[in-house]
Amino acid sequence: MNLRGNTTNYGTRNTRLPYRYKSVPQPHETGVRNGSYAYDVLTDDGLRPSSNSLIQNLGAEHLIRLRQFFKRVTLTKDQYLYQQDDRIDNILFPETAVISEFQILEDGRMIEVGIVGSEGAVGIASAFYACGAANCMQVCVPGTALMIPRDLMEREVASDARLQMIFHNYINAQIKQLSQRVVCNTFHSVEQRFCSWLLMLQERSRRDRFKITHEHVARVLGVHRPSVTCIAQGLRERNLIDYGRARLVISDKDGIEKLACGCGDMRSAKAAH
């Protein structure tokens, strides 16, 4: 969704968040709304293969029962899905899109506390109990996601122990990664965190090229832009990455892994499945 006329700079002078909006279209809506979502209504033949790991683990029985309620939507870069404490009406299962979860600090800076891609889901905890969004959620990498109304998934989860186990395991893994992220932000260097974040982005989006600015990375890491520029220059000099205007390419994943702190490792999330 284009947020024209709203603040996008979260520095100390301007901390106003974008205006509140409907997070995602309701099930009865069709077509493209405000250029934000491209719909792919699923046919009676069943759900097209999805790259989302949680969807893959639902099993044929659930997909057959729920296929008419899933919609494949296209998320645009920097699109806000939820603000903190917003009511969650729909659950999103990213396929090629990557969603950033972040908090706004008292001085107005943003800092990322979580990232969700094809391994997980946005808003899945609301299928177990009534709760608002724990963090602000913004699209980091544009792409597709499968969307389903929360109340439908809530009823499905309540009646199936296997689904409860799958989603509980995923939520527990997310909590562990959140705790690890807090430690990472406290004790590891900006370079280590930058490299770890690049690996998380690559693994969740399954791509090596991104439309990302140094300013965006600085907001994610909760640091000033010059720090990111200095580190990026050093990584490029070692042929680990390349970048240009709003463009970043991972050139040597193995080299990045050697510098990363390892806090972005997806092993715990994969084990949860």
Nearest to 124 by CA among 155, 146, 154, 85: 154
Rounded Cα–Cα distance for residues 245 and 227 (Å): 17
Contact in structure between 163 and 99 (CB atoms under 8 Å): no
- Overall domain count for the chain: 1
Q: Model confidence at 194, in pLDDT bands (50, 70, 90)?
A: very high
User: Is the residue at 245 inside a domain?
Assistant: yes
How far apart CA 181 and CA 86 sit, in angstroms, is 23
Strand ranges (DSSP E) for the chain? 40-41, 71-75, 80-82, 90-94, 98-104, 110-116, 136-141, 143-149, 209-210, 241-244, 247-250
Q: Are 189 and 228 in contact (CB under 8 A)?
A: no
**What CA–CA distance (Å, rounded) separates 50 from 34?**
25
Domain assignment present for 212: yes
How many beta carbons lie within 10 A of that of residue 252, not counting itself? 14
Q: Is residue 248 part of a domain?
A: yes
Rounded to the nearest 10 degrees, how much is the dihedral formed by the CA atoms of 121, 174, 101, 250?
-90
Give the tens place of pLDDT for each residue, 103-132.
887 877 778 888 999 999 999 988 887 788
Residue-wise pLDDT for 15-59, tens only, equals 333 333 333 333 333 222 333 333 444 544 444 668 899 988 887
Of residues 181 and 231, more confidently modeled: 231
Using pLDDT thresholds of 50, 70 and 90, give the confidence band for residue 222: confident
DSSP string, 198-218: HHHHHHHHT-SEE---HHHHH
264 pLDDT band, cuts 50/70/90, is low
Angle CA(262)–CA(263)–CA(265) in degrees, nearest 5? Answer: 70
In a domain, 191, yes or no: yes
Residue 207 scores a pLDDT above 70: yes
CB 221 within 8 A of CB 244: no
pLDDT band for position 61 (cuts 50, 70, 90) = confident
Question: Is residue 70 situated within a structural domain?
Answer: no
Q: Does residue 11 have a pLDDT over 90?
A: no
Q: Give me the domain span that covers residue 260.
A: 183-271
Cα Rg of the chain, angstroms: 19
Whether 215 is in a domain gets the answer: yes
Residue 100 counted as domain residue: no
Which span out of 59-63, 184-188, 253-257 was modeled with the highest average pLDDT?
253-257
Q: What is the pLDDT of residue 4?
A: 30
**Domain membership flag for residue 231:** yes
Check which CATH number belongs to the domain holding 193 and give it. Answer: 1.10.10.10
61 or 90: which leads in pLDDT:
90
Q: What is the pLDDT of residues 125-176, one digit of tens each?
A: 888 877 888 889 999 999 999 999 999 999 888 988 888 999 999 999 988 8
The predicted structure's pLDDT at residue 249: 95
What is the percentage of the chain residues whose pLDDT exceeds 70? 78
Task: List the end-to-end C-alpha distance of the chain, in Å, as a whole number.
Answer: 32
Dihedral angle computed from the Cα positions of residues 215, 267, 145 and 20, in that order, rounded to the nearest 10 degrees = -50
Q: What is the pLDDT of residue 265?
A: 61
CB-based contact 273:168 (threshold 8 Å): no
Q: What is the pLDDT of residue 40?
A: 45
